[in-house]
Structure 1
Amino acid sequence: MADFSVRLAGIDLAVIALYALGIIALGLIVSKRRASAEDYFLASREMTWPVIGLALLASNISSTTLIGLAGAAYGTGISVYNYEWMATVVLAFFCVFFLPFLLRSQVYTLPEYLERRYDGRARVYFSALTIFLNIVVDTAGTLYGGAIMLKLILPDWPLWQIVAVLALSAGVYTVAGGLRAVIYTETVQAVILLGASVFIAFFAFDKAGGWDAVMAAVDPAKLSLIRPLDDPGVPWLGLVLGVPLLGFYFWCTNQFMVQRVLSAKDENHGRWGALFAGLLKLPVLYVMVLPGTAAILLYPTLDKPDLVYPTLIFDLLPAGLVGVVIAGFFAAIMSSIASTFNSAATLVTMDFVRPRMPQADNAALVRAGRITTIVFMVLAVAWAPQIERFESLWQYLQAVLAYAVPPVCALFLVGLFWRGANAKGAFASIVAGLVGGGALFWANVLAAEPLGLHFLLVAPLLFVLSAIVLVAVSAATAAPASAHVQAMLWTPAFYRDESRALAGMPWWKNYRVLSVLLLLLTAAIVWTFR
């Protein structure tokens, strides 16, 4: 591969430096106010919908996403976009069924909510699992993916030094300002990220001869979202059963995403923000996925699909715009890192420190959060370079959600709709999910003759197992007190009461109308590329 470092003109370096200094300065300025625990971890619960929506998008789009979406479109086709559009369906479900109970509970973390529904065992398990996934999978993966890209710009820098600089850049304002600093910087980063992606898409299609030329020349199979049952990427059965389940975990129960919704000033802003994030996910097809399709015509002999994104940047863009796009890439890295650092610190502080130190004041909790952020920053920096040595292991980690999170999804979903789900059933479900997930992981990944079961089909199997155990054990033991679960239970009566409250609201403020419009727009895109 060519050495692209020569393409960085002085104006590009100036733009990158200006972005980096500006975003760190913004984060530190926001951090100046004295933070209470609620301010540090939940931005005082006063965020509005545009900020929430943009922050959700910025948290979701990481360096691995930018590289992976274009690379997957180049290698296997646009079916990778199924994970993106499914977010709108999941977020609409979230707004209708789960969000009001979550915000009314006034919890700091999703594991805390799970404890209120069941008991402390569910909280500890889910919190520990989330911390592991956030740091070892999400943050380390983002750092590693970003470092690989930036090695093209800084070929003489050791990988660990690039990783350390990236982590420190986001960590400095996260430690100082908590979620408020993270959200405000994410809002700016989302705008830069979308703008940079538009530039890449425009130049890619222009060089390839335009939209019609790309659509006519590329294999129709690579332009189809609905794939056969034996498709290695996203088989249709996995799309129906697996993608929504993993999407529910990611968008509705994952602390580093849902923490933005928990910061909403009220239920309406939480819902509008979540739906706005869903709307922002739809253009991803055109500005992040399809440029990889255009690259099939431009660079038919690339060694690896992961080279598509950097090749588009350095080969097509003029001086100045290269700096803007790399700044957008920095934005994706920093926003994802800051999100996971802050959410992991929140989980440790609120799920482990506060229950054991109930007398701790705001200053002590904030201090614990800052110390935790620094510790996790060091751990992520130490682990990320090791991924280079264990490529096959890292590939397994990408699908680890399918083996790890179905029991958690069962606890939330069954507990949301069935009042009989109890603590004993929850614990049995966790154990069954762990044993079943471990057994399937061995049989499907580690065995000498693997089953060959797609991970998107593993997730629903484990979900069904966990749900059956939860229902069976709960039914065989004493039901929880009605007063204990009523505030976290969706019922038709709740829906009717809410309908009366929405009756006098203008349609453009009614989240149900907005949800339907968003789903119709999503359906139109999926139908077009079916």
Structure 2
Amino acid sequence: MGTIHNIDLYIIAAYFLVVLAIGVWVGLKTKTGEDLFLGGRTLTWGVIGASLFASNISSTTLIGLTGAAYTTGIASSNYEWLAGVPLIIMAAVFIPIYLRAQITTVPEYLEMRYDVRSRKIFSSVTIVTSVLVDMAGGLYAGAIVLQVFFPELSLTYTAIGLALVAGFYTAFGGLKAVAYTDTLQAIILVVGCSILTYMLFDRLDFSWSMLTSSVPDNHLSVVRPMDDPTLPWLGTLVGVPLLGFWYWVTNQYVTQRVLAAKNVQHARWGAMLGGFLKILPLFIMVLPGAMAISILPNIENGDMVFPTLVAEVLPVGVVGIVLAGLVSAIMSTVDSTLNSASTLVVVDFVKPRRPGISDREVAKIGRICTIVIMLIAALWAPQIANFGGLWTYLQQMFAIIVPPVAVLFLVGVFYRTATPTAAFWTLILGFVLGIAMFLARQSGLLDMHFSVGVGVMFAVCTAIFVAVSKFGPQDLKQDVSALVFDKSLIAEKSGTSIFADYRVHAVLLVISMLWVLVTFW
């Protein structure tokens, strides 16, 4: 391990050249702020679905989940195949609301639904988490992998190098460049990981019984007991869907693809495609971690499982394909968060202060923001090593911010009389209580799995939200009927065939998720 053949290097170099070429090609057509941030609102369902998948598949799957499957079992894959639940909610309810409102950022919806305070708070939190969690996590994962093959590389300088490549085509080409490169990256990712899975299963003589006999009890189960330290069943029931809702429905770097759709139908089809694609990681990214137990039994650091498999199992040429897929995953998350974070800075903070700013100035400021954010994330990435592993780091960060945000969207879209003051205090108190719960768990005062804690905090924040709405200032002044749930939202466009009806796709997606649950119970 620690070496790589020239053929593999050529394959990786070719990938980088193609990605940069796409960025330049799209960048030459990117002139305005809407081009940069929303791709001119022209994205179609295939690009949306592939981009949703690729932008999500990064450190949390290839590095974090593969390592978790190796050390604790496949239960962590619940975050992947259960993504269909929030994506169905998004397609049915939030996509028509978002596109009807013509918003550029998700926090804009909060200002329309509540007031500017909620928008600013949520936007600020999203920018910070995008930079310090999503983007830095992606850079950290990429740097770790490259160090396996090039041990002499510095973690900091490697992270900066990856950030520079992603930052270039993101700043130049904007969301459309990100979406197009994500589509390419999704293909490479699936092909590369499928090859690795096939070769690992070949090592086990394609015997499922051999795999099950080589792993600890319950290692291949997605439903775990309440005292399970990885993911208890109650956490899967309440915590995973809420975390997924925050990620897929309210997270700017994900929803930005939906906001850029050419119409509601393409946005819905793209969301459904993304849901089906999210079932794949269980089979081509998580199960390989379990297979590695008998093939490479002495890996101490879970974050090193995937890169070690690539180095030890794959032949020359295939290493380059799989490694290009891995780098694709890293780049797709980095470029997505770069674009979304700069969008939030410009649209939620710069434009309100300079209402007369031209589209070209918006694009220029957006590109500057992209570069600055890129450098911050690259410098922070090496610090993640101090948090006990990538997966642990991501869990710690998300568990704090998700509950109050989920309440404002998920409860607020059905609770018409929710007030702006209630939204404000739910965010403030929710974040404070979330930090307090995190500190209590870290100090040993509270013995509760973070995923269960997400459900508890969601209930507490809902109580705050409803109580302040009922007994606090009644400051809901504007008509919010276009921003809340109505039965007509679920309807499909008249004349749509049954094969093109997103509701049929949703039913098939639910059946697929139930099959996974029953098969790996």
Question: Residue 247 of structure 1: which of 244, 248, 269 is its match?
Answer: 244
Matched to 1:196, the amino acid is G
Q: Is 1:439 equivalent to 2:430 in the alignment?
A: no
Distance 1:392 1:442 in 2: 18
**Aligned residue for 1:120?**
116
Q: Is 1:134 equivalent to 2:130 in the alignment?
A: yes
**Aligned residue for 1:516?**
507
**1:385-464 paired onto structure 2 within 5 Å:** 385-389=382-386, 391=388, 395-396=392-393, 398-445=395-442, 447=443, 449-464=444-459
Q: How far apart are 1:356 and its partner, in Å?
A: 0.6
- In structure 2, the residue corresponding to 1:181 is in which secondary structure? helix
Q: Is 1:292 equivalent to 2:283 in the alignment?
A: no
Q: Is 1:272 equivalent to 2:269 in the alignment?
A: yes
**Aligned residue for 1:474?**
469
Q: How far apart are 1:462 and its partner, in Å?
A: 1.5
Distance 2:2 2:426 in 1: 52
Q: How far apart are 1:391 and its partner, in Å?
A: 4.2
Distance 1:19 1:162 in 2: 17
Q: How far apart are 1:89 and its partner, in Å?
A: 1.2
Q: Is the 8 A contact 2:170 2:339 kept in 1?
A: yes
- In structure 2, the residue corresponding to 1:98 is in which secondary structure? helix
CA shift digits 1:291-329 (9 cap, x unpaired):
111111112222222222122111111111111111111
Matched to 1:168, the amino acid is L
Unaligned runs of 5+ in 2: none
**1:92-491 paired onto structure 2 within 5 Å:** 92-212=88-208, 213-389=210-386, 391=388, 395-396=392-393, 398-445=395-442, 447=443, 449-476=444-471, 477-478=473-474, 480-481=476-477, 484-491=479-486
Distance 2:153 2:280 in 1: 35
Q: Is the 8 A contact 2:441 2:447 kept in 1?
A: yes
Q: How far apart are 1:508 and its partner, in Å?
A: 0.9
Distance 2:393 2:292 in 1: 27
Matched to 2:441, the amino acid is N
CA shift digits 1:72-106 (9 cap, x unpaired):
11111110111011101111111112211011110
Matched to 1:173, the amino acid is Y
Q: Is 1:529 equivalent to 2:517 in the alignment?
A: no
Alpha-carbon spacing, 1:316–1:438, altered in 2? closer, same or farther (3 Å): closer
Q: How far apart are 1:417 and its partner, in Å?
A: 0.3
CA shift digits 1:189-240 (9 cap, x unpaired):
1100110000100000101221322134433400111110111111000111
The percentage of counterpart residues that share the same residue type is 45
Q: Is 1:505 equivalent to 2:496 in the alignment?
A: yes
Q: Is the 8 A contact 1:421 1:479 kept in 2?
A: no
- In structure 1, the residue corresponding to 2:480 is in which secondary structure? helix
Coordinate RMSD, CA, aligned: 1.6
Q: Is the 8 A contact 1:143 1:333 kept in 2?
A: yes
Matched to 1:159, the amino acid is L
Q: How far apart are 1:390 and its partner, in Å?
A: 5.3
Distance 2:150 2:428 in 1: 47
Distance 1:171 1:138 in 2: 15
Distance 1:217 1:394 in 2: 24
Q: How far apart are 1:514 and its partner, in Å?
A: 0.8
Question: Residue 85 of structure 2: which of 85, 89, 95 is its match?
Answer: 89
When structure 1 is superposed on structure 2, of 210-219 and 100-109 the one drifting more is: 210-219
Distance 2:248 2:387 in 1: 29
Q: Is the 8 A contact 2:384 2:393 kept in 1?
A: no
When structure 1 is superposed on structure 2, of 512-521 and 214-223 the one drifting more is: 214-223
Q: Is 1:53 equivalent to 2:49 in the alignment?
A: yes
Distance 2:187 2:467 in 1: 48
Q: Is the 8 A contact 2:44 2:262 kept in 1?
A: yes
Distance 2:262 2:30 in 1: 20
Q: Is the 8 A contact 2:70 2:293 kept in 1?
A: yes
Matched to 1:275, the amino acid is M
Q: Is the 8 A contact 1:109 1:259 kept in 2?
A: yes
Matched to 1:16, the amino acid is I
Q: Is the 8 A contact 1:36 1:366 kept in 2?
A: yes
Alpha-carbon spacing, 1:389–1:244, altered in 2? closer, same or farther (3 Å): closer
Q: TM-score, normalised by structure 1?
A: 0.95
Distance 1:300 1:102 in 2: 48
Distance 2:390 2:327 in 1: 26
Structure 1 stretches of 4+ moved >6 Å: none
**Aligned residue for 1:25?**
21
Q: TM-score, normalised by structure 2?
A: 0.96
Distance 1:48 1:397 in 2: 31
Q: Is the 8 A contact 1:174 1:341 kept in 2?
A: yes
CA shift digits 1:111-166 (9 cap, x unpaired):
11111000000000000000000001111111111111101122222222211110
Distance 2:251 2:334 in 1: 15
Distance 1:34 1:305 in 2: 41
Distance 2:216 2:402 in 1: 35
- In structure 1, the residue corresponding to 2:321 is in which secondary structure? helix
Q: How far apart are 1:63 and its partner, in Å?
A: 3.3
Alpha-carbon spacing, 1:389–1:402, altered in 2? closer, same or farther (3 Å): closer
Q: Is the 8 A contact 1:47 1:264 kept in 2?
A: yes
Q: How far apart are 1:389 and its partner, in Å?
A: 4.6
Q: Is the 8 A contact 2:395 2:450 kept in 1?
A: no
Distance 1:48 1:393 in 2: 33
Q: Is the 8 A contact 1:78 1:223 kept in 2?
A: yes
Q: How far apart are 1:397 and its partner, in Å?
A: 5.2
- In structure 2, the residue corresponding to 1:152 is in which secondary structure? helix
When structure 1 is superposed on structure 2, of 165-174 and 154-163 the one drifting more is: 154-163
Distance 2:493 2:332 in 1: 35
Distance 2:147 2:218 in 1: 34
Q: How far apart are 1:479 and its partner, in Å?
A: 5.9
- In structure 1, the residue corresponding to 2:149 is in which secondary structure? coil
Matched to 1:174, the amino acid is T
Q: How far apart are 1:394 and its partner, in Å?
A: 8.8
Distance 1:80 1:195 in 2: 22
How many residues align structurally?
519
Distance 2:121 2:108 in 1: 11
CA shift digits 1:408-454 (9 cap, x unpaired):
11111122001100111111212221221122122222x3x331211
Q: Is the 8 A contact 1:189 1:332 kept in 2?
A: yes
CA shift digits 1:36-84 (9 cap, x unpaired):
1111100011100000000011100113420122211111111011101
